């Protein structure tokens, strides 16, 4: 998540609420700045707040800081800590502060030839009625509202983590600064625990597990952000789709299939083209048109121009499924008695995300939404939203994903990116807020997070690195029905405009499975496991027995294989454990004699010997119930 709030000024209230840990981290940021100023006196510092998990300080510096420099910086920090400097607060007048900044004295150890440029700018951002506070530790003076810990000696458990770049004040038009991240804790033990947690998190990264478990592959030659689902991953996806589909039937949805492309005209009407052109793959233009234009010596700019104006037609890879579903709806006349019409599709869409945004399965350029569009009357909106939210909760509940937050995305009153009139927006926002309240979960309202056609409720979860991802979403839309002129005949025998609800409980299959891999650390519940059982013969003498067991289980729909490698059982177990296979069945002389199998569970270990039929019925029940 962008940390824009950290680059904005905090209110004094927020500062006073800073926790002890945040205060410590903020002070450690100053210690780091002091060390950097000692090593590179020409460093120009911008902002250095605490953040979740640590702190950073933005610095403009000729020298390119790399992790190789961390040792030296940390060594210098150690000295500053050892000197046990007092953090002193000074209230000064605006002019005094400005004078210091102009002589380069802010965020520095002494006066310099160049002024403290960022500090001057930050100074100007401080409201007139607010007092200007400086903090000093040793010779290091900084413009800072605080608060701080008492002495630098308190900052004894810290570690520099990484260096990245960030635009000054988060604006891409501003210069880029080097952002040095670090973390700090009360003591070394807590720091050690934190670092250990980070290490564990790395182990469950879906990109690492995706490779190890052979779930998906992204190939350079296919293209950035285009996911190839390998057989193991495809099983997981298929199971999830089956799961959702069973609920679709219960909730009165109809499944449809629509193509991956559509005419530009479709997207002109919906408003996607040319508005979102930057994040779309370029249009597909018919060969004859291209030929003619080439012969006319037409430039690329001219081509784009004509496409925009509709002088030549083209096709677009669909960035959303809604326009297609709208056309399905529109192909029939509808009476209010037919509503709601609920059209569902696992629809693949393509969005040309910026290259720097792509990553693993969570941010990709082609993805499949478990999408649906509901067409209903105004009176039905509330119940339909509730039905959608119910579905999202069933999905997340079944998978044991309780660690999510709910966000009600509203329009940003100052932005012009939204279509439709404010009255309809108000209605839609009220309906959503209303539904969110009845959800029984806390939610936040966030202006500016709406879709361009309507407000939405998002279910947001964190990945192992702590980044937030939107998964399930429910969006109310009063606008696209108008743009497309959708109708139904009401009880009064006149034409009315239906309301549309867009909803996707998983969001996208790619992102959802990515998050799911991390959620389960690769240990999927048995109904999702690519391989559910592996039979391990003790030696090759029992290979035939293993084959027989495999056959029985397969006939009952279990995903099972036998490991007949020329290895000891310990090695076979190790491999099965690494593959995160829920059940291992060991067959040797004892079992052969007793007509049983020894069951080993990947987490519970050796569970003793039982008959194959009993094991089978237990496993079938575990699968059927989708137990965790």
Partner RNA sequence: GCUCUUGUAGCUCAGGGGUAGAGCACUUCCUUGGUAAGGAAGAGGUCAUGGGUUCAAAUCCCAUCAAGAGCUCCA
Kindly identify the residues of this chain, within the stretch 472-491, that bind RNA according to CB under 7 A.
Answer: 475
Asked if 623 interacts with RNA (CB under 7 A), we say: no
Could you give the angle at the alpha carbon of 399 between the alpha carbons of 398 and 405, nearest 5°? 100
Q: Which 3 state secondary structure label does DSSP give 125?
A: helix
Let me know if 373 is a catalytic residue.
yes
DSSP states along 222-283: T-TTBEEEPHHHHHHHHHHHHHHHHHHHHTT-EE----SEEEHHHHHHHT-TTTTGGGSPPP
Asked if 514 interacts with RNA (CB under 7 A), we say: no
Let me know if 351 is a catalytic residue.
yes
395, 506 Cβ separation under 8 angstroms: yes
Asked if 595 interacts with RNA (CB under 7 A), we say: no
Q: Of 297 and 356, which CB lies nearer to RNA in the complex structure?
A: 356
Residue 69 CB, nearest approach to RNA (Å): 10
DSSP states along 312-332: S-EEEE-S-SHHHHHHHHHTS
Kindly identify the residues of this chain, within the stretch 381-420, that bind RNA according to CB under 7 A.
Answer: 417
Nearest CA among 293, 505, 277, 543 for reference residue 393? 505
Asked if 164 interacts with RNA (CB under 7 A), we say: yes
Query: CB atoms < 10 A from the CB of 593, how many?
Result: 8
Asked if 199 interacts with RNA (CB under 7 A), we say: no
- Total residues binding RNA (CB under 7 A): 77
Kindly identify the residues of this chain, within the stretch 232-261, that bind RNA according to CB under 7 A.
Answer: none
Q: Of 179 and 559, which CB lies nearer to RNA in the complex structure?
A: 179
Q: Which of 13, 19, 62, 64 binds RNA (CB under 7 A)?
A: 64
Kindly identify the residues of this chain, within the stretch 354-373, that bind RNA according to CB under 7 A.
Answer: 354-360, 363
The token duo for 494 is 């006149």
Q: What is the residue whose two structure tokens read 């951002």?
A: 125
Q: Of 117 and 598, which CB lies nearer to RNA in the complex structure?
A: 598
Kindly identify the residues of this chain, within the stretch 258-297, that bind RNA according to CB under 7 A.
Answer: 272, 276, 279-280
> Which is the catalytic residue, given 456, 503, 519, 534?
456
* Window contacting RNA (CB under 7 A); options: 41-49, 222-230, 287-295, 378-386: 222-230
C-alpha dihedral sign at 303, 308, 313, 317: positive
Q: Of 437 and 601, which CB lies nearer to RNA in the complex structure?
A: 601
Q: Which of 170, 274, 282, 447 binds RNA (CB under 7 A)?
A: 170
| Distance between CA atoms of residues 618 and 556, nearest Å | 12
Asked if 337 interacts with RNA (CB under 7 A), we say: no
> Which is the catalytic residue, given 148, 272, 324, 373?
373
Helix %, strand %, coil % of the chain (to 5): 40, 25, 35
C-alpha dihedral sign at 513, 514, 518, 523: positive
Which strands sit side by side in the sheet containing 261-263, from one edge to the other? 261-263, 314-317, 284-285
Residue 360 CB, nearest approach to RNA (Å): 5
Residue 601 CB, nearest approach to RNA (Å): 9
| Distance between CA atoms of residues 138 and 387, nearest Å | 62
Nearest CA among 533, 519, 470, 478 for reference residue 502? 478
| Distance between CA atoms of residues 480 and 499, nearest Å | 9
Kindly identify the residues of this chain, within the stretch 102-141, that bind RNA according to CB under 7 A.
Answer: none
Let me know if 369 is a catalytic residue.
yes
Q: Of 188 and 211, which CB lies nearer to RNA in the complex structure?
A: 211
* Window contacting RNA (CB under 7 A); options: 294-302, 373-381, 396-404, 572-580: 572-580
* Window contacting RNA (CB under 7 A); options: 29-37, 128-136, 525-533, 581-589: 581-589
* Window contacting RNA (CB under 7 A); options: 217-225, 287-295, 378-386, 428-436: 217-225
User: Which active-site residues does the annotation give?
Assistant: 322, 351, 369, 371, 373, 456, 502
């Amino acid at each position: 998540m962008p940390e824009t709030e950290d680059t904005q000024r905090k209110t004094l209230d927020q500062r006073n609420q800073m926790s002890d840990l945040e205060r410590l981290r903020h002070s450690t940021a100053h210690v780091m700045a002091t060390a950097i100023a000692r090593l590179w006196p020409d460093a120009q510092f911008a902002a250095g707040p605490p953040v979740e998990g640590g702190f950073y300080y933005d610095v403009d510096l000729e020298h390119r800081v790399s992790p190789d420099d961390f040792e030296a910086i940390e060594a210098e920090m150690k000295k500053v800590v050892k000197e046990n400097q007092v953090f002193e607060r000074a209230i000064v007048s605006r002019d005094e502060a400005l004078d210091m900044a102009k002589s380069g004295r802010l965020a520095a150890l002494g006066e310099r030839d160049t002024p403290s440029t960022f500090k001057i700018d930050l100074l100007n951002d401080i409201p007139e009625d607010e007092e200007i506070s400086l903090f000093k530790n040793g010779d290091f003076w900084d413009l800072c509202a605080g608060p701080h810990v008492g002495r630098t000696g308190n900052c004894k458990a810290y570690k520099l983590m990484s260096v990245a770049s960030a635009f000054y004040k988060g604006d891409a038009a501003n210069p880029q600064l080097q952002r040095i991240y670090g973390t700090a804790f009360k003591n070394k033990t807590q720091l050690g625990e934190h670092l250990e947690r980070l290490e564990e998190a790395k182990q469950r990264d879906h990109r690492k597990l995706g490779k190890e478990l052979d779930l998906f592959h992204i190939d350079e030659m296919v293209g950035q952000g285009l996911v190839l689902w390998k057989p193991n991953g495809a099983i997981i996806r298929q199971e999830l789709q089956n799961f959702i589909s069973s609920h679709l039937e219960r909730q009165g949805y109809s499944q449809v299939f629509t193509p991956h492309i559509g005419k530009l005209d479709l997207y002109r009407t919906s408003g996607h083209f040319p508005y979102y052109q930057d994040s779309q793959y370029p249009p597909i233009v018919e060969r004859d048109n291209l030929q003619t234009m080439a012969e006319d010596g037409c430039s690329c700019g001219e081509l784009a121009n004509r496409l925009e104006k509709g002088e030549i037609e083209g096709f677009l890879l669909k960035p959303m499924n809604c326009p297609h579903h709208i056309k399905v709806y529109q192909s029939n006349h509808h009476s209010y008695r037919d509503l709601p019409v609920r059209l569902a599709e696992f629809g693949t869409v393509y969005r040309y995300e910026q290259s720097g945004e792509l990553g693993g399965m969570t941010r990709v350029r082609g993805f499949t939404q478990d999408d649906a569009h509901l067409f209903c009357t105004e009176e039905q909106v509330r119940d339909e939203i509730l039905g959608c939210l119910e579905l999202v909760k069933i999905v997340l509940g079944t998978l044991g994903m309780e660690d999510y937050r709910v966000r009600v995305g509203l329009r940003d009153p100052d932005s012009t990116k939204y279509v439709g009139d404010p009255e309809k927006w108000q209605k839609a926002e009220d309906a959503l807020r209303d539904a969110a309240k009845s959800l029984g979960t806390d939610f936040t309202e966030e202006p500016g997070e709406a879709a361009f056609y309507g407000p939405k409720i998002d279910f947001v979860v964190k990945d192992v690195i702590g980044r937030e991802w939107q998964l399930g979403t429910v969006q109310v839309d009063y606008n696209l029905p108008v743009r497309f002129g959708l109708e139904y005949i009401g009880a009064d025998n006149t034409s009315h405009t239906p309301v549309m609800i867009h909803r996707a409980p998983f969001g996208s299959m790619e992102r959802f499975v990515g998050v799911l891999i991390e959620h389960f650390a690769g240990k999927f519940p048995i109904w999702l496991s690519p391989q559910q059982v592996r039979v391990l013969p003790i030696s090759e003498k029992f290979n035939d027995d293993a084959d027989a067991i495999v056959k029985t289980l397969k006939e009952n729909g279990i995903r099972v294989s036998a490991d007949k490698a020329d290895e000891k059982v310990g090695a076979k177990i190790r491999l099965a454990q690494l593959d995160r296979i829920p059940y291992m069945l060991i067959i040797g002389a004892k079992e052969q004699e007793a007509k049983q199998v020894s069951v080993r569970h990947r987490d519970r270990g050796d569970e003793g010997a039982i008959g194959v039929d009993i094991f089978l019925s237990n496993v079938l029940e575990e699968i059927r119930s989708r137990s965790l």
